Copies of this chain bind each other. A is one copy, B any other.
Amino acid sequence: MRADSDLFLVEGPHMVEELLQWRPEDAEEVFALAEWVDPRDSRRQAALAPPVVRIQPEELAAMSCQHAPNQVLALVRKRRALPPVAPRGALTLALDAVRDPGNLGTIIRTADWFGIRNVVCSPDCAELHNPKVVQATMGGIFRIELSYTDLAAWLPTTGMPVFCTTLDGSALQDIPSPQEGVIVIGNEARGVSDAVRALATQRVTIPRYGHAESLNASVAAGIVMAALCQGRSR
């Protein structure tokens, strides 16, 4: 299951159900305890693309990356890397060196909540198929198109407004929700890199009323997405 494999692991009933609902064709094999297999509708079971292998709790524990393995896991084929896209009429998220796997996964989950379909990562972001990223997406990984590219080279090719979160921008609530554009979120410690910040058409700041030096990166990303996606249709 390492980065050089063509497969990645998804774990637990919620993630496996999301897989079977959204990307059943990507599922290579499902391994499950009897308690997960038995209550499932047998017709639905028969219609499943991937074979389901019953295993024992000690086998699950041996295959799992979790501290507390939970009933079922699946081996999933990685999709071919796609070129980065920022579709017209939509908001796209760009992540500049988001290194922590939990943050990357949580940001994908939040993008999925707000209807953002495309996430474009700099090459030094965490790796999408890292088990901590996968699990933190809570299923978002099956719905979001994610790609890796050099953001400073790519952003000018999009022809889109670029909203860059910085400490010296306009207050978030003063910026009208855009029809389209790319929202850039920076590194946990250093923020957005100079090369990318220079491409911003709008710098955006989350106003601070207290004393904390910074916000957690996935919290900041959530606040910016909530404000800029405001009032979109489903």
A interface residues, Cβ below 8 angstroms from B = 106, 109-117, 136, 138-140, 143, 172-173, 206-216, 218-223, 226-227, 229-234
Contacts and interface: CB of A to CB of B under 8 A. Distances in A.
16 contacts: A106-B219, A109-B219, A110-B212, A110-B216, A111-B210, A112-B210, A112-B211, A113-B214, A136-B216, A143-B211, A172-B226, A218-B218, A219-B219, A219-B221, A222-B222, A226-B226
Complex A-B, nearest 8 residue pairs according to Cβ-Cβ distance, in ascending order: A115-B209, A115-B210, A219-B222, A113-B212, A112-B212, A223-B226, A209-B232, A106-B216
Contacts of A219: 106, 109-110, 218-219, 221-222
A64 B113 CA distance: 37
Copies in the complex: 2
Nearest to A224: B226
